[in-house]
Structure 1
Amino acid sequence: FIKAKNYPDSTSVETENDGSESAIFRQLFQKWTLPNQTSGLGKTHTVGKVAKVEQVKFDATTLHAKPQMAAQQKMVDDGSGEVEVWRVENNELVPVEKKWLGHFYGGDCYLVLYTYFVGPKVNRIIYIWQGRQASTDELAASAYQAVALDQKYNNEPVQI
């Protein structure tokens, strides 16, 4: 894949599977929850109940205080980039509303475009998330739409 796209050999590629998403991928979404995730003293997350989120002051500049940790975790930036998410529906991309960001359903496929800056240069990563129960048509459509999105940006984004 890297050679076919003429990416440098140093380009890292990561696959995200339904139910085993990496922490780096999940950090792109504010309200990501895991099945049977507990909060507090054993309270389990269930669909239909929204957990109260406490606002905590956070200084993003402290992320740069530990560049070794950022490198170990393969973080591309401090999380200040822009996230766009689409669900594949009838072979087309349908934007996901902001209130539903981080909600992925096992019978669907999604594309996530993360745009960030390194100095003045714009960089993009396209994540392809394919649900475990997604149909063969949806799986194929998500791959096709990822290529189309990649071509929209002159084949510059890295696809994961």
Structure 2
Amino acid sequence: MTATAPHPAHRALWRHWGTPAAVYGTVVYSSLIAAASVEAEHAAAGRILLFSVTTIVVFWLAHVFSVALAHHGDADSVGARVRDSLGHALFESSGMLEAAIVPSIPLVLSVFGLLQVRAAVVLSLWCAVVVLALLGYLAFRVRDRPLWVRLVGAAATALFGVAVVALEALLH
């Protein structure tokens, strides 16, 4: 059974969410949370959140720079080339920052005393796994793949996230 093709507006949105930067950002951000929580076993949620957000912003800046440098537009003037390259890089790299939103929610709740720190960290990591599953699903959905392929893609992407987080925790 094949699925009906997604609406063009949905396809554009899914392509944006399903960028390599979004997948990479989700994996990196969950690894940062895992590493920060292992490094300081009794760390406050605020410290884990601050470390993770600050580090993902640094990675994002490096990603924007590398994409802008590699893209380097074709416009006639230097100013237009820089503007084109930077605009392209900001769009292509935005998924890295967007990837941090959902996994940050439990940590923010912990900062306000609504969750225990350990529970917030675990929930943040599982949120990242769910986001990865969704990104894996969407990557195949936007290409009009059958449901079973989308589900396998979602499971594989989520399992990759679990493996990376576990490896990061073991290394720290």
TM-score interval (norm. to shorter):
under 0.3
Q: Give the TM-score of the pair, scaled to structure 2.
A: 0.25
Structure with the higher helix share, 1 or 2: 2
Scaled by the length of structure 1, what TM-score is found?
A: 0.27
Which structure carries more strand by proportion?
Answer: 1
- Larger relative contact order, structure 1 or 2 (CA cutoff 8 Å, min sep 6): 2
